[in-house]
Amino acid sequence: MKPLLMTSLASLALASCGLSAQAATRAAPTPAEAKAFITKAEADLAKANIYAAKASWVRATYITEDTQWLEAKAGAEQNEMATRLAKQAARYNSVKVDAVTRRKLDLLKRSLVLPAPDRAGAADALATIASRLDSTYSTGKFSYNGKTLTLNDAEDILATSRDPAVTKAVWEGWRTISPPMRKDYAELISMANEGSRSLGYKDTGALWRSGYDMNPDAFAKETDRLWTQVQPFYKNLHCYVRARLNEKYGDLIQPRTGPIRADLLGNMWAQEWGHIYDVVAPKTQASSYNLDHLLVSHGYDPIKMVKTGEGFYSSIGMPPLPQTFWERSQITRPRDREVVCHASAWDLDDRSDIRIKMCTQVGAEDFVTIHHELGHNYYQRAYQDQPFLFKSGANDGFHEAIGDFAALSALTPTYLKQIGLIDTVPGDEEDIPFLLKTAMDKIAFLPFGLLVDKWRWQVFSGEIQPDQYNDAWWALVKQYQGLTPPSARPANAFDPGAKYHVPGNTPYMRYFLARIYQFQFHRAACQQAGWTGPLHRCSIYGNEKIGKKFNTMLEMGQSKPWPDALEAFTGQRQTDASALTDYFKPLDAWLTEQNKGEVCGW
């Protein structure tokens, strides 16, 4: 984890108008000076990153006023240094340097998530606001039925309750924690935009979009292209789920046409719908096992779940996690203090001090999350020998996709038999239940993964003003997800702030891309393994040959443009969602049959 720094970067030529007349008359810098500058910059940033990472870890695992202050101080110092170095790198825009130095200079100029304005005290102020927003979210609680509920409590209720009055109350209750963030968030946007403009970007959204080895506007069009590949399947799933909800709740709660009521989908943000599988399960086809029940009945606890995740990566030839991982990770929620429970993977020294931070609960959801988070850790360790500015994913979507790729194998009944959770792999008759369960999370997520940053890009550009934050959010939710809130939202609502990545200032398009890349990786791996069966039954568990080739891609880090990394493993140079549609093709055909007579869309 690199606090306040992008985990993926892209090219930008900074405007020369920021240089003074005196600087313009100086002797042109030499290639040797450029190389010396970037060498020192990397050393300084590496040192600052370790300090900031440790301060962030302490705050995330022990939230107090003091730890927030420490994180803000470390983050401000790191941000100030990175901003200063990014501006200094512009001096070498026209210098003819070797390809490695040029890439490092370009990455340095795009390394910030929230660049601070170039004025005294601005870096401190920005870091303080960012830390306060994160902590406000992480310590958020609300009252329901005389009890004080955390987000974990609320998520459990939404996942299990089938009483629409209860889901509505809990859904609305969690969103009472975010209105106080709105003023801070607007101020943070203004400061970050000021900092981005000082680096030559029109706004922070353009800075974020520049991290994909292409023009920012071209990247925005690329996300639209990918959405057109998967949108028809999402609409098919939406149509089927809406009909099942209508059958359960009736027209007054969930009409047969139009948007779906967001609180009925089993997830606080309706980004994944797997928890309501019991409502939408095929009437004539059933699954012979339940992963939640299997984990409990086989005596799994949080540590055993993490050990199992480690075992997957070891089976494809990757070395075991270091002992410090087990000593220093937060695997379960402490009872004696406030912590950030949102799952994350950390690299605290850019070498081997890798950790996860979770509040793990025994169940299928966290079983998958563990495989995902460990993917970050194995990626971090794979590129540890790269220079500092190359210690990141080929792009941030790659970093998210690595663990999800592993989880595609981990979800299969093939893998569950390989690790002894089931005795027999079910036959073809269980394909539709399996694919439907998987799609309820993987496919349902796609529009949400897209809209979070679509909203932020418009916020950063000024197209959405602070008094329009909530209305614009729900307009995009309806446009992309086809959802509606359970009731009219209050005038002071700031519902985007009820999703961690907004107050946590984590770019979100990476998760949309990861949903595409993971299937692209999975199809390539299964083809290389000689798998001839259905793609959704393929597990690469135990295949060291695939693991070796995969790790070769991981070791590249960000040293090459992401198409080079993609080609190294898949043979393709373009992001391609056809692997996802290949994986779910039997389900899409089945959904089309089920939806005959329905008025799909919203």
At 568, list the tokens.
């190294």
Q: What mean pLDDT, rounded, does the chain reach? A: 92
| Amino acid occupying residue 100 | V
At 522, list the tokens.
């999975």
Q: What is the DSSP letter of 106?
A: H
Q: Within 10 A of 482 (CB to CB), how many other CB atoms are there? A: 21
Task: Round to whole Å and give the CA distance between 397 and 393.
Answer: 8
pLDDT band at 411 (very low <50, low <70, confident <90, very high): confident
Task: Round to whole Å and give the CA distance between 568 and 573.
Answer: 9
| Amino acid occupying residue 61 | T
At 426, list the tokens.
């079910």
pLDDT tens by residue, 124-151 = 999 999 999 999 998 999 999 999 999 9
Phi, then psi, of 412 in degrees rounded to 5:
-70, 145
- Could you tell me whether strands 344-347 and 147-149 are parallel, antiparallel, or unpaired per DSSP bridges? unpaired
| Amino acid occupying residue 442 | K
At 283, list the tokens.
């009437």
Q: Within 10 A of 309 (CB to CB), how many other CB atoms are there? A: 26
HSE toward the beta carbon, residue 318, CA cutoff 13 A: 27
More confident: 14 or 181:
181
* pLDDT higher than 90, residue 529: yes
Amino acid 18: pLDDT: 37
Mean pLDDT over 11-39 rounds to: 61
47 CB contacts (<8 Å, ≥6 apart)? Answer: none
SS3 call for 233: helix
Mean pLDDT over 341-356 rounds to: 93
Q: Would the pTM count as exceeding 0.85?
A: yes
Strand blocks (E) in 296-369: 344-347, 354-357
pLDDT band at 4 (very low <50, low <70, confident <90, very high): very low
Task: Round to whole Å and give the CA distance between 14 and 48.
Answer: 24
DSSP string, 412-467: SHHHHHHTTS-SS---GGGHHHHHHHHHHHHHHHHHHHHHHHHHHHHHHHTSS-GG
Burial of 118 (0-12, 13-18, 19+ CB in 10 A): middle
Task: Round to whole Å and give the CA distance between 368 and 364.
Answer: 6
Q: How far is CA 477 from CA 267, 463, 503, in A?
A: 14, 17, 18
Amino acid 19: pLDDT: 33
Considering just the CA atoms, what is the radius of gyration of the chain in Å? 24
Element (H, E) at 304: helix 302-315
pLDDT band at 432 (very low <50, low <70, confident <90, very high): very high
Burial of 524 (0-12, 13-18, 19+ CB in 10 A): buried
* Angle between helix 122-138 and helix 65-89 axes, rounded to 10 deg: 130
* pLDDT higher than 70, residue 510: yes
505 CB contacts (<8 Å, ≥6 apart)? Answer: 113, 114, 130, 133, 134, 188
DSSP string, 44-68: HHHHHHHHHHHHHHHHHHS--HHHH
* pLDDT higher than 70, residue 12: no
With beta carbons less than 8 A apart as the criterion, state whether 494 and 470 touch: yes
- Domains of the chain: which residue ranges? 16-138+194-212, 144-180+247-287+441-498, 291-425+508-571
Q: How far is CA 147 from CA 141, 143, 179, in A?
A: 10, 5, 21
Mean pLDDT over 574-589 rounds to: 95
pLDDT band at 389 (very low <50, low <70, confident <90, very high): very high
Q: Among 137, 87, 73, 74, which Cα is nearest to 115's?
A: 87
* pLDDT higher than 60, residue 23: no
* pLDDT higher than 80, residue 407: yes
At 563, list the tokens.
């198409």
Angle among Cα 150, 156, 159 to the nearest 5 degrees reads 140
* pLDDT higher than 60, residue 364: yes
Mean pLDDT over 233-238 rounds to: 98
Question: Position of tokens 């990247």?
Answer: 219
Burial of 293 (0-12, 13-18, 19+ CB in 10 A): exposed
pLDDT tens by residue, 184-230 = 999 999 999 999 998 889 999 999 999 899 999 999 999 999 999 99
pLDDT tens by residue, 459-503 = 999 999 999 999 999 999 999 999 999 999 999 999 999 999 999
Task: Round to whole Å and give the CA distance between 114 and 234.
Answer: 33
pLDDT tens by residue, 78-124 = 888 988 898 898 789 889 999 999 999 989 988 888 988 988 999 89
Task: Round to whole Å and give the CA distance between 436 and 280.
Answer: 9
At 333, list the tokens.
């929620």
Q: In the 3-class helix/strand/coil scheme, how is 493-540 assigned residue by residue?
A: CCHHHHCCCCCCCCCCHHHHHHHHHHHHHHHHHHHHCCCCCCHHHCCC
* pLDDT higher than 60, residue 365: yes
- N- to C-terminal Cα separation, the chain: 40
Amino acid 514: pLDDT: 94
Amino acid 491: pLDDT: 95
More confident: 13 or 501:
501
Angle among Cα 532, 536, 539 to the nearest 5 degrees reads 75
Amino acid 26: pLDDT: 62
With beta carbons less than 8 A apart as the criterion, state whether 121 and 81 touch: no
Active site residues: 373, 501
Task: Round to whole Å and give the CA distance between 109 and 199.
Answer: 8
* pLDDT higher than 60, residue 547: yes
